């Protein structure tokens, strides 16, 4: 009995490990392949990648890619979404100015100053797309983050998603890929597994209450 239980636990751990490896491989494979034709709007995220008024090279790489794609006519509007650390210049403004310097007109740039949480970015994007009647979005992002962001966008109801990656796989990216791997499974758990478990628990509690009421009623009848 104990040996069988240990074997089952071992199988489950092996399955979990294999699923993490496969997801990590898919994050890299899907991330390094572009998939775009023409979208209503492009999105370039920033993550507090500004210091002493200078944008980090990871962010300028995204903005350079976005500017090149605009020049190629792959989209007509672009949303820049940034976070501003305390004491630094506004990252979103800096992103917009950088694109303008790369010949993206100011009237094609929409600034999203984001909220306090990562989910605020998705909510803001969905709102902006609805307000401007955008239907398709082109993500211009680091290759290892694309899969997770696409998953979150689909969960938010945005279905027409194209992608243009920045960067190529390097061995030192392994920890970042692992973090994205964990984040994907965490979101899947919160969206699908946890609500189902809560529903089952609530249903079980209701059934237990009904059973207790029936037993109590039966006992009262016997006493009478």
Cβ atoms of 78 and 66 closer than 8 Å? yes
DSSP state, residue 76: S
The answer to whether residue 4 sits within a structural domain is no
Distance CA 89, CA 85 (A): 8
Strand (E) or helix (H) holding 158: none
pTM: 0.79
The answer to whether residues 35 and 139 belong to one domain is yes
**Predicted local confidence at residue 206, as pLDDT:** 58
Q: What is the pairing mode between strands 77-81 and 160-166?
A: unpaired
- Given the structure tokens 């350079």, which residue do they identify? 64
Collect all residues with Cβ–Cβ distance below 8 Å to 98 and sequence separation of at least 6: 55, 60, 63
The answer to whether residues 50 and 152 belong to one domain is yes
The answer to whether residues 162 and 181 belong to one domain is no
Per residue of the chain (224 residues), give pLDDT as tens. 677 777 777 787 888 888 888 999 999 999 999 999 999 999 999 887 888 778 999 999 999 999 999 999 999 999 998 887 777 788 899 999 999 999 999 999 999 987 555 566 778 888 899 999 999 999 999 999 999 999 989 988 899 999 999 999 998 999 999 999 999 999 888 888 876 655 545 555 555 554 455 445 554 555 55
The answer to whether residues 38 and 85 belong to one domain is yes
The answer to whether residue 133 sits within a structural domain is yes
The answer to whether residue 2 sits within a structural domain is no
Q: Which residues face 8 on adjacent strands?
A: none
The answer to whether residues 122 and 182 belong to one domain is no
The answer to whether residues 121 and 212 belong to one domain is no
Domain boundary, last residue among 153, 169, 185: 169
């Amino acid at each position: 009995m104990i040996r069988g239980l240990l074997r089952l636990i071992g199988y489950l751990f092996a399955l979990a490990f294999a699923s993490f490896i496969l997801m990590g491989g898919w994050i890299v494979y899907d991330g390094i392949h572009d998939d775009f034709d023409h979208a209503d709007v492009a999105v370039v995220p920033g993550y507090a990648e500004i210091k002493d008024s200078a944008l980090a090279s990871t962010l300028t790489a995204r903005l350079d890619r976005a500017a090149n794609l605009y020049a190629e006519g792959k989209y007509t509007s672009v949303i820049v979404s940034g976070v501003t650390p305390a004491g630094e210049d506004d990252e979103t403004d800096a992103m917009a100015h950088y694109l303008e310097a790369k010949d993206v007109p100011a009237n094609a740039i929409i600034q999203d100053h984001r909220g306090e949480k990562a989910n605020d970015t998705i909510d803001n994007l969905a709102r902006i797309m609805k307000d401007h009647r955008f239907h398709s979005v082109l993500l211009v992002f680091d290759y290892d983050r694309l899969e997770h962001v696409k998953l979150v966008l689909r969960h938010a109801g945005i279905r027409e998603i194209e992608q243009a990656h920045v960067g190529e796989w390097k061995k030192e990216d392994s920890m970042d890929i692992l973090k994205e791997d964990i984040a994907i499974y965490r979101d899947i758990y919160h969206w699908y597994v946890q609500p189902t478990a809560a529903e089952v628990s609530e249903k079980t509690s209701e059934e237990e209450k009904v059973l207790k009421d029936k037993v109590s009623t039966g006992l009262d009848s016997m006493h009478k």
